[in-house]
Structure 1
Amino acid sequence: MTSTVDTDIDRAAFGREWEQWHREHETRRADRHGFLAVTGLHWLGDEPIALPDAPGTWHLGPGGAVVELAEDEALELDGKTLRGRHTFAPIPERGGVALPFTDGEVTGVVELARRGGHTIVRPRRADHPFLATYAGTPTYVPNPRWRIAARFRPFDAPRPTAVGAAVDGLTHVYDAPGVLEFDWRGETFALTAFPGHGDAGGLLVLFTDATSGLTTYAANRSVSVVAPDADGWTIIDFNRAVNLPCAYTDHATCPLPPAENRLPIGIEAGEKTPLARVAVSSASAAPAVPA
């Protein structure tokens, strides 16, 4: 197995392509209703919860999440306006629905989702101060040496893999289809891969490395990997390693890497630790996960 895919790559063109990719990534991240606009994380149970910055009083009913909207409150669902009382259909694990709303001149979205077996509500507001002050994420200078050839070795059947979360007491379970093996400076490493987002057959790797907690975010980073070819080969481009939402806010439930994905080498590529994040004080924080 070779350590890199291209030894004669046009570095200038590579840098321009990376800059465009990262600029687009930052644009999505800083969307007015994106994750940087999340103002709270609320765990639903039997007791009604009134959101301080979004419409509705919420609780869990026998059939699913229930919202009670005051006379002057409304939410949108699939183009329809919700008023009064509404019971939502059950939400699958890692699924969710976005419920737009308007508060005066401010737009927002209530995210109703299922994470780690719990139902959560996360409001997002376009006027969130953190979103307004976000100045971008520092990165390493893109370098083709971090485009590494990897061989995908599938399991006989997808392997349920439990990992921790940014929230204490929460567990995520993913069906891992296999591992990605790569060589770096004479050593071979194997990373458990999870199904990717969007690209058919694509993979997602959660990892930490020797830079974690120093120049990069301590808990995790992720990198998307294109679908392997017919012989099982693909490329891990660590230049495209990005932070998960938990690097920016305590209002995230991001998964942590499995133990085998904690690399002993320093991956000096991709995104570094954010310059700022939203932290919730212990005095105002709700219990991590309701019993």
Structure 2
Amino acid sequence: MTSTLQQTFADEWAAWHRDREERLTDPHGFLAVTSLTWLGEQPVTAPGAPGRWSADARGVVVDLADGETLLVEGAPVQGEHVIGELGLRESRLLLAGEVGVEVAERGGRYVVRVRDPRSPLLAAHPGTPAFPADPRWSVPGRFVPFEAPQPTTVPGVLEGVEHVYDAPGTVEFTLDGTDYALRAFPGHGDGDLTVLFSDATSGDTTYPFRSLHLVPGADGGVQVDLNRAVNLPCAYTDLATCPTPPAENRLPIAVEAGERTPTVRGSARPTDDGAVLAG
């Protein structure tokens, strides 16, 4: 690769990394999460959010006291309000003033997470460290679909939480003469893929696992650019429910590319009513 192409590669990666940091430090991004509360039939408070929250046959329900208001899809609600059922891994963001109140489905249960722009973790974030962009880690690959999606269960980072994904296939690629195959999960966009993986740097210079977003072409071809391997929210805070990689997605090499372990991380502490707060 010529020096001009190398510089272009580095510049494109730097622009991507800046965009990643802008989304991470959004006032309602994951660094703004200050509490996590699992819901059941018994109404509970969600620290930092108005109302009392529960989940029943109607889905998520909030009961707001006199004078309390939430914005739901831009409309103010008061008293008892049925937010309703949420689909698999669905999230909705409500607003209480400048505070975001996320309701979500995770592992077959409902959860409320408060996203406060005044979060100490957000204020303290120094930027995510990363390896320098290196074209060596960007190689052509191929998405190989299964005959039918394969349900794949993986543990979450929180004890007792499991995630089930319909894995559509594997991503195959060759790096330094060695062939690799990683099981892929559906991504957020139509046809997109998410690959969770670990490698020989995991737990050392990088978080125990990372994620790679891939977009195969119509012919299955896909650029596997490990320079764009990213941390999941659980790398930054205990108030996350991230899935872990399938067992077969451990690369036996040291992938010195992509994001490294964050230098600042938020801890968590439980409350008497079962919620979890940022420490």
Please give the range of the TM-score, normalised by the shorter of the 2 chains. Answer: over 0.9
The CA deviation at 1:51 is 2.3
The CA deviation at 1:98 is 0.8
The aligned residue for residue 210 of structure 2 is: 221
The CA deviation at 1:61 is 2.5
The CA deviation at 1:276 is 1.1
The amino acid of 1:152's aligned partner reads: F
> Which stretch shifts more, 251-260 or 64-73?
64-73
Residue of structure 2 aligned with 1:46, choices 27, 41, 45: 41
Q: Does 1:268 align with 2:256?
A: yes
Query: In 2, distance between residues paired with 1:222 and 1:52?
Result: 30
Q: State, as a whole percentage, how many aligned pairs show the same letter.
A: 49
The amino acid of 1:141's aligned partner reads: P
Residue of structure 1 aligned with 2:222, choices 225, 229, 234: 234
Query: In 1, distance between residues paired with 2:47 and 2:67?
Result: 15
Distance of aligned partners of 1:237 and 1:99 in 2 relative to their CA distance in 1, 3 Å threshold: same
- 8 Å contact kept, 1:146–1:238: yes
Q: CA RMSD in A?
A: 1.7
The aligned residue for residue 85 of structure 1 is: 80
The CA deviation at 1:271 is 0.2
Deviations for 1:213-265, whole angstroms, at most 9, x for unmatched residues? 010001x21011122342x2211110110000000111100110000101111
Please report the TM-score for the alignment, with normalisation by the length of structure 2.
0.94
Q: Does 1:205 align with 2:200?
A: no
- 8 Å contact kept, 2:143–2:216: no
The CA deviation at 1:79 is 1.5
Matches within 5 A, 1:96-111: 96-102=91-97, 107-111=98-102
Please report the TM-score for the alignment, with normalisation by the length of structure 1.
0.90
The CA deviation at 1:12 is 0.6
The CA deviation at 1:284 is 7.0
The amino acid of 1:271's aligned partner reads: E
User: For 2:265, what is the secondary structure of its paired residue?
Assistant: coil
Q: Does 1:121 align with 2:112?
A: yes
Q: Which consecutive unaligned segments of at least 5 residues does structure 2 have?
A: none
- 8 Å contact kept, 2:46–2:112: no
Residue of structure 1 aligned with 2:186, choices 192, 195, 207: 195
- 8 Å contact kept, 1:202–1:228: no
User: For 1:88, what is the secondary structure of its paired residue?
Assistant: strand
Deviations for 1:183-217, whole angstroms, at most 9, x for unmatched residues? 1223211100111222x322111001000001000
Q: Does 1:65 align with 2:60?
A: yes
Q: Which consecutive unaligned segments of at least 5 residues does structure 1 have?
A: 1-6
The amino acid of 1:167's aligned partner reads: L
